[in-house]
Chains A and B, each alone.
Chain A
């Protein structure tokens, strides 16, 4: 069964600090891994998309890494801001499956405090 597990479930950090969120998956055969940011009361917004051959991808202060051998990904947030407070969702897709089926993690809720 395809699974995506995210840790920690929640995290509180002070403004200006860095943090790293984890995503472990068992989806196979692997196609891509996405990180989304979901603000409270809003829909998810794409941060990064990584394929099998990509180890690192950045989007501003967000840097995602992928280790396809260990089936792990991380999302590193640098110099956090209050606006980074949100839920971060890891999504993994498999190749050649029915068009609609990706596996979503339960998300990590990040709170940035002043």
Chain B
């Protein structure tokens, strides 16, 4: 199994550009999440989804959008890139909700720089 796959691994954007970070999982997990990790800080939840067609905001959703048209894919969209969005973005999935005794499976991240 590939697990959680994120593309691209690295990207440099100019201020005001837009892009989509891709995330796909092959474990048939219902729950998917997007986090950002700033240097020396804990992961912050951006958006999450409990199944196809259902998404909800996390702690830091401003400047981002998501969609979940299939169980496998959960793309994250940046519409107008800002320097504050420079970060490492992690996608994760889990079989059950976070307060179950099931682990989250993470991708290896997308390193995004906004210049």
Contact with A along B36-65 (1 / 0, CB 8 A): 000011111101101000001011000000
Contact B99 A93, beta carbon cutoff 8 Å: yes
Assembled-state Cα–Cα distance A46/B4 (Å):
14
Does A100 lie at the interface of the complex (its beta carbon under 8 Å from any beta carbon of B)?
Answer: yes
Does A77 lie at the interface of the complex (its beta carbon under 8 Å from any beta carbon of B)?
Answer: no
Interface size class of A (residues with CB under 8 A): 20 to 34
In the complex, how many residues of chain B place their beta carbon closer than 8 angstroms to a beta carbon of chain A? Answer: 30
Q: B97 contacts which chain A residues (CB < 8 A)?
A: 99
Contact A99 B31, beta carbon cutoff 8 Å: yes
Q: Restricting to A13-43, which residues have a CB under 8 Å from any CB of B?
A: 31-32, 34, 41-43
Interface of B is mostly: loop
Contact A107 B98, beta carbon cutoff 8 Å: no
Q: A41-B108, A43-B4, A89-B42 are in contact. Are A49 and B99 (CB under 8 A)?
A: no
Q: B99 contacts which chain A residues (CB < 8 A)?
A: 31-32, 93-97, 102
Tell me how many residue pairs across A and B have CB atoms closer than 8 Å: 69
Q: Which residue of A lies closest to B106 (CB)?
A: A43
Assembled-state Cα–Cα distance A107/B102 (Å):
20
Does B101 lie at the interface of the complex (its beta carbon under 8 Å from any beta carbon of A)?
Answer: yes
Assembled-state Cα–Cα distance A105/B43 (Å):
8
Contact A43 B42, beta carbon cutoff 8 Å: no
Q: Which 3 A-B pairs have the closest CB atoms?
A: A100-B48, A43-B106, A46-B103
20 contacts between A and B (CB under 8 A): A32-B99, A32-B101, A43-B4, A43-B90, A43-B107, A44-B43, A44-B104, A49-B101, A49-B102, A49-B103, A51-B101, A89-B42, A99-B48, A99-B97, A99-B98, A101-B58, A101-B98, A102-B45, A105-B42, A106-B41
